[in-house]
Amino acid sequence: MSNVYLNVEQQGDVTVCTSTPLCHHIDETNVEDVGRHLMTIIQNAEPPRFVLALPTVEFFGSSFIEAMFRAWNRLNSRPAAKLVLCELQPYCREVVEVTHLDRLWPIVATREEAVALCSGG
């Protein structure tokens, strides 16, 4: 499943969602579309192990954090749910760390590390 902003693939028992080159900024012009698609992907993640890779996103604000948090709440309502962030640009990583959401969602550098952490390996 993919759209203009997000691509989805399965790596073993982990769903990996990656931002596309068309997703440079997540702001008021596209946050609803991105958030809605993210929620759909999260709902279909089976098992509920999820990697969100945002290598192309240079900016997101509080609206996207809210969308990620809603998606996390949906995912976390299922047993053994995991969400790991990876490939964050410096500004986006700083936003997650300043809001202390890195305590909720681990941040790692690479997709491989994220998949391994989600798998428990």
Q: Which CATH architecture has domain 6-119?
A: 2-Layer Sandwich (3.30)
Find the mean pLDDT for residues 19-46: 92
Domain boundaries, the chain: 6-119
Q: Which of 20, 12, 30 is nearest to 82 (CA)?
A: 12
Query: Are the CB atoms for 90 and 56 separated by under 8 Å?
Result: no
Residues 42-51 have pLDDT tens digits of 999 999 999 9
Q: What is the pTM of this model?
A: 0.93
The per-residue pLDDT for 119 is 87
